Structures are given as C-alpha cells and as structure tokens.
C-alpha cells in the first residue's frame, strides 16, 4: 500500500494520526482538503508531502470550472499558494508544486483539458519516481551499515514518510534485506511521537529488531558505546550541507560528534535547496503549543502553561559525515558534492 496515491479522481492517503492503533485511509476530494491533511499531519514526511501536493495540484485542475487556459491557470495559482503555505519548511512541497506550475505556465497546451491530463500525469510520475529514488538511496546507504550494527534513528523516515520504501528507514530496510543482523534504537520524537508510533510500527512489519528510547536517552547509549551509526532524514538541505530535520536532530548530531559516531542524513536531491546558502535561511515551522501540553489530546499539564513547539531544527554541516542521495553519498565539501548530486552526477 502506498502512503499517498490517486484513486477514483481523489487523493487517497494513509491517515498517519491513527497508526499504530489502526491502518485507515482517507479520500480527499479537493486541494483544500489536501492542504489541510498536510497541515494537520494526516500525511507527513518530506517526500510524501511533495507527492501529496502534486496530486493536490492535479485535483485543483480537475475541479476547476474554467473553460479556458487563462482561467485554469488563475485557479492553479491560487491552489499553489494554499498548498505551499500548508507546511513551510519541507522543500519537497514547494518543489512539487513548482514542477506542476512550470508545466501549467509553459504555454505548451492549446486547451485546458490537455493541461489537466498533463498535470495528473506529472503528479503520478513524481509519485512513481519517489519509490524508485528511495530504493536507490537504500542501496547506497546500506553500504554504510555493517553486520551487527546498532543504528540510532530519529522521527520517521520509512514508507510512511514517502510514497513507499522510505529514506533513512529505507536504508535500514535495505540492509536488513541484505541479511545483515542489525538493531535500531528509535527516538520517540516528541511531541508527536513519530519514532515511537510510526517507525516502530514499520519495523514491526519488516521484522527488524528495535527498541524505543526517550528522546533524552540517546546520549546515554552513545556514551556506553552501544550505538554504531546515526541515520536521519531531512526536510530541507541548504547548499552548504546544513540540514533541517525534525526537532531534536541537532542535539543527536552534536552528541554523535562528541562520541565519534558517524551521523548521516538520507534524502533525495529534491530535498536539496541550492538557492539557500546555509541553514540560517531555512524557515522553521512553529506549530501549536497545544501539541506539547496535550500530545494527541492527552493533557499532561494545564492548558494555561506556556509552551513552545518548533517543528524542526538545523544541524550545521560540520556534524554531518555524509548525505545519502539517489546519486550516491555526498561528502564534504558539500557545496561541490551536493551540486553534482542535484545535477544528476554519480558520486
């Protein structure tokens, strides 16, 4: 089952808010519903968000009542703004929307129905490409994992975070399928617990050995020498190799450096934003503080207690041993290696 797909003229996606208790899907009839699903984290994970936004644009084209190209383009411009605003940090979202808008603005189509058909075709292509790209990253990254390794993982980067297969967890899955005996330590990843809820659920499906850790325990196990390598995903990577990822990633990278543990990011080149010189330029989404006070509606403190809830942090490139892409492993200096990876060169 794919995390997100086109189904009977609607966007069908797994509702990740229900996992691990239930595996259910929702069908979304318009781009506004897709934007809301991205915002409320029915779907999450940079590659999955990108594919969802692409299908959302296809929905916008399909549902538009415009009978000429100018009217359809105006409707698509509005949909693009709404979808891009749904989550600002994950660059795959804007990348996918812009890819479809480039087609819409190209002037290649003589009537709106041809454009509608082309946009759906490109959205489907983005989804299919994501699966193939993730499997290529899995093979490149699995070479970093040795038989007997214990891997520290943060958040969720498996099939649920992509259309299928996944990024960092996809690497772990590939190593497992190669027959390597591995164990995974999963940060619970507060406040939405993507590691405890989603990553553990996925590893259960694959039969991969794991333990869930409190977010504050990673340093303890690093200091004890029980962690061989750390692997995470990314929501945006700047041209210099600074990595924006789920909040808590930065402290893992710093601790890994202190304990001489290699720290790797796994992400497709669509997550690399060469227009940003460094991570200081990456916008950081600030989510509802209520998620901290009452995760999934379960209050742990009174409503009037003050809280902050940044969704992401930025790990400076000096803590990153390498960035696994579909074109190989980018290593320092990242300005050169990431540029070549984005250009499609093999690393």
Residues 154 and 284 occupy one common structural domain: yes
| One domain for residues 145 and 200 | yes
Mean pLDDT along residues 49-62 = 97
Alpha-carbon gap, residue 244 to 235, rounded angstroms: 6
For residue 210, the cross-strand partners are 184
CA atoms within 13 A on the CB side of 91: 24
For residues 93 and 142, membership in a common domain is answered with no
Catalytic residue set: 235
Does 347 reside within a domain? no
Q: Do 40 and 171 belong together in one domain?
A: no
Structure confidence by residue, pLDDT tens digits, 185-218: 999 999 999 999 999 999 999 999 999 999 999 9
Final residue before a domain boundary, out of 90, 113, 134: 134
Half-sphere exposure of 338 (CA within 13 A, CB side): 30
Kindly state whether residues 128 and 145 are assigned to the same domain. Answer: no
Q: What is the mean pLDDT of the chain?
A: 96
- Together in a domain, 123 and 262: no
Count CB-CB contacts under 10 A for residue 283: 12
CATH code at 39? Answer: 1.20.120.420
Q: Are 20 and 158 in contact (CB under 8 A)?
A: no
- Is residue 161 located within the same domain as residue 226? yes
- Under 8 Å CB-to-CB from 102, ≥6 apart: which residues? none
Report, as an integer, the average pLDDT of 247-272: 97
CATH code (residue 298): 3.40.50.10470
On the question of pLDDT at 327 being above 90, the answer is: yes
pLDDT interval class at 307 (50, 70, 90): very high
Residue 30 pLDDT grade (very low, low, confident, very high; cuts 50, 70, 90): very high
Q: Is 235 exposed, middle or buried (0-12, 13-18, 19+ CB in 10 A)?
A: buried
State how far the Cα of 309 lies from the Cα of 246, in Å rounded to an integer: 11
Decide: 330 and 338 in contact? Cβ < 8 Å: yes
Report the predicted TM-score, pTM, of the whole model to 2 decimal places.
0.93
Are residue 127 and residue 141 in the same domain, yes or no?
no
Whether 61 and 48 map to the same domain: the answer is yes
How many separate domains does the chain show? Answer: 2
- Domain closes at, from 107, 134, 161: 134
- Find the mean pLDDT for residues 78-95: 93
Q: How far apart are CA 139 and CA 329, in angstroms?
A: 11
Predicted confidence at residue 89, as pLDDT, reads 86
Residues 149 and 294 in one domain: yes
- Element at 329 (helix H, strand E): strand 328-330
Token couple for 38:
């991205």
Kindly state the tokens that stand for 103: 């087609």
Q: Which pLDDT score is estimated for 247?
A: 98
Residue 43 CA to residue 53 CA, distance in Å, equals: 10
User: Would you place residue 172 in the very low, low, confident or very high pLDDT band (cuts 50, 70, 90)?
Assistant: very high
Q: Which domain holds residue 308?
A: 136-342
Distance CA 35, CA 85 (A): 8
pLDDT at 90 over 90: no
């Amino acid at each position: 089952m794919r995390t997100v797909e086109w189904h009977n003229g609607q966007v069908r996606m797994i509702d990740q808010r229900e996992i691990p208790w239930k595996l259910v899907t929702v069908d979304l009839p318009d781009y506004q519903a897709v934007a809301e699903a991205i915002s409320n984290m029915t779907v999450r994970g940079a590659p999955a968000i990108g594919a969802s936004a692409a299908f959302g644009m296809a929905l916008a084209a399909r549902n538009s009542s415009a009978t000429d190209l100018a009217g359809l383009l105006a409707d698509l411009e509005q949909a693009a703004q709404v979808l891009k605003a749904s989550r600002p940090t994950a660059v795959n979202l804007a990348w996918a929307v812009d890819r479809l808008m480039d087609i819409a603005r190209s002037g290649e189509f003589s009537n709106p129905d041809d454009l509608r058909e082309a946009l759906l075709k490109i959205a489907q292509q983005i989804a299919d490409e994501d699966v193939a790209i993730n499997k290529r990253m899995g093979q490149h990254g699995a070479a970093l994992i040795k038989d007997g390794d214990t891997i520290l993982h943060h958040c969720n980067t498996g099939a649920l975070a992509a259309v299928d297969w996944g990024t960092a967890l996809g690497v772990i899955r590939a190593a497992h399928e190669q027959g390597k005996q591995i164990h995974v330590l999963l940060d619970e990843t507060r406040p939405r617990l993507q590691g405890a809820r989603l990553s553990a659920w996925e590893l259960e499906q694959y039969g991969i050995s794991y333990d869930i850790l409190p977010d504050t325990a990673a340093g303890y196990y690093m200091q004890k020498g029980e962690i061989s390598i750390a692997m995470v995903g990314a929501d945006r990577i700047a041209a210099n190799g600074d990595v924006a990822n789920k909040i808590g990633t930065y402290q893992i990278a710093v601790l890994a450096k202190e304990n001489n543990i290699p720290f790797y990011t796994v992400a497709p080149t669509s997550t690399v934003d060469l227009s940003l010189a460094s991570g200081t330029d990456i916008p950081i989404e600030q989510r509802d503080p209520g998620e901290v006070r009452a995760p999934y509606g379960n209050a742990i403190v009174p409503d009037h207690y003050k809280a902050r809830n940044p969704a992401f942090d930025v790990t400076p490139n000096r803590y990153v041993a390498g960035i696994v892409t579909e074109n190989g492993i980018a290593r320092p200096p990242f300005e050169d290696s990431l540029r070549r990876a984005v250009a499609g060169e093999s690393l």
